[in-house]
Amino acid sequence: MAFAPTPQPRTSAAAPAVNTRVALAVVTTIFFMWGFLTCLNDILIPHLKAVFELNYARAMLVQFTFFGAYFLMSLPAGRLVAHLGYKKGIVAGLVIAGIGALGFWPAAELRIYEAFLGALFVLATGITVLQVAANPYVALLGPEQTSSSRLTLAQALNSLGTAIAPIFGGLLILGNTVKSADQIAAMPEAEQLAYRVQEAQAVQGPYVGLGIALFLLAVFVFLFRLPALTESTEQADPVKHTLGEALRHRHVLYGVLGIFFYVGAEVAIGSFLVNYLSMPNIGGFTEQEATHYVAAYWTMAMIGRFVGSAIMVKFSPRKLLAIFAAVNVALLAITMLAEGPVAVYSVVATGLFNSIMFPTIFALGIERLGPLTGKASSLLIMAIVGGAIIPYLQGVLADNIGLHHAFILPLLCYGYIIFYGLSGSRPDASAAKGA
């Protein structure tokens, strides 16, 4: 999943002579890693659901914990990066994420669900720090007029990580999950315990390996002579603006809700795909087979990002946003009404039309705000907490009305985005005058 950058700081006039292309290659590797780690949750959810015999709502605490960290830790992460600088902030984020990944080892030994959630929160905190540090840093690695192309490249690497993670997780985490709940229940109690211990420990190797990779990447970034950049904090402005001032602009308020509902819908669909496609009347796949469709869901988002950016050169971003949201409403309606291959392909296809939504909503949400742009950006990033709330609520629905019909919730989220594209994104008169 790709996130929009914070407002760009200025480059230092005394930057050392370092090959910025090499530096960009180093930093974009980080985008790949956090995309990979974020999407691996889609595999972790069905695995832990089976290991701990969770209902859908409790299983969605994985995403609640992960994306809740964005809301709770984004402001502290901003202060940390402001204190350390971009390079050391990136290193700190990698180290924190690595500690969280290593936390999966004791969590599996303890076989306590809450221990997994704790490790996941630490991991997500590290990714939040990376989010705050790496996005503006990439924007600075070259001329200002080409910053968008560099960010597109970095976000493409993020999407590549989300596309590969389900296959990786399917092979290493779900590969041994061959017994259904009924089969486990039929086993003697001692065999059940041994089987659940084995399944809990299936996450140890992959996450410890990822933790080691994060530490090695942190060392590499620390030793690599990245270009020195000048951080900027607030815009030079005598007035100290507040978050409340930004929210008084209708397109900011509606934009915050837009990010909340979009991220919530995207994450919810991805989170339930393995369980949904494993249902006998939908795909009847094994969990490992279903991971290939999860990979397709995120790959289509990556493809759509490039196609959508080209289309937006000729078409209004507002209209395109509304059209893409309307298509997803139709696709989810089909998903809820159909079964078999039609239901499979309709839900996976929503990934293609998710592609432009986050950057478009973000850009429209900070339009014409002048000195309030930074505050609005902070609010929009905090709204990523939708990825914590919406999946949990869909889990509650799935437990009460069934998973097939619980997709009504992301459908309604996309309905709101139609409104935002057509009406809610238009700045009010005060914003049009430069806030």
Amino acid at residue number 108: A
Q: What percent of the chain has pLDDT over 70?
A: 82
Residue 152 pLDDT grade (very low, low, confident, very high; cuts 50, 70, 90): low
Q: Is the pLDDT of residue 108 over 60?
A: yes
pLDDT at residue 199 greater than cutoff 80: no
Task: Give the separation between CA 257 and CA 435, rounded to whole angstroms.
Answer: 20
Of 180 and 429, the one with more pLDDT: 429
> Which of 56, 58, 67 has the alpha carbon at shortest distance from 272?
56
Average pLDDT of span 131-144: 71
Which of 86-90, 194-198, 215-219 holds the top average pLDDT?
215-219
- Sorting pLDDT into bands at 50, 70 and 90, what band is 187? confident
| Same fold yes or no, 18-231 and 241-430 | yes
Distance CA 39, CA 24 (A): 23
Buried b (16+ CB within 10 A) or exposed e, 20-50: beebbebbbbbbbbbbbbbbbbbbbbbbbbb
- pLDDT of 239 strictly over 80: no
Is the pLDDT confidence value at 287 over 50? yes
Q: Name the residue with higher pLDDT: 414 or 82.
A: 414
In the structure, what pLDDT confidence band is assigned to residue 20 with cuts at 50, 70 and 90? confident
Burial class (CB in 10 A: 0-12, 13-18, 19+), 240: exposed
Q: What is the mean pLDDT of the chain?
A: 84
Cα→Cα distances 187→51, 112, 200, 273, 346, Å: 14, 22, 17, 28, 37
**DSSP strand E in 107-182: where?**
none
Mean pLDDT of all residues in 373-401: 90
Q: Is 241-430 a CATH 3.40.50.300 domain?
A: no
How far the first Cα of the chain sits from its last, in Å, is: 31
Q: What is the DSSP string of 386-422?
A: HHHHHHHHHHHHHHHH-TTGGGHHHHHHHHHHHHIII
CA distance 288 to 429: 53
DSSP, collapsed to helix, strand or coil, labels residue 37 as helix
pLDDT in tens, 329-354: 999 999 999 999 999 999 999 999 99
35 versus 199: the higher-pLDDT residue is 35
Domain spans of the chain? Answer: 18-231, 241-430
Give the phi and the psi of residue 11 in degrees, each rounded to 5: -75, 155
SS3 363: helix
Tell me the average pLDDT across 308-324: 85
**What whole-number distance in Å separates Cα of residue 383 and Cα of residue 70?**
9
Q: Which pLDDT value is given to residue 11?
A: 45
Predicted local distance difference test score (pLDDT) of residue 236: 40
Q: Using DSSP, how many helices (H) and how many strands (E) does the chain show?
A: 21, 0
What digits encode the pLDDT tens for the residues 39-68?
A: 999 999 998 998 888 999 999 999 999 999
CATH (one of 1.10.220.10, 1.20.1250.20, 1.10.150.120, 1.10.510.10) for 18-231: 1.20.1250.20
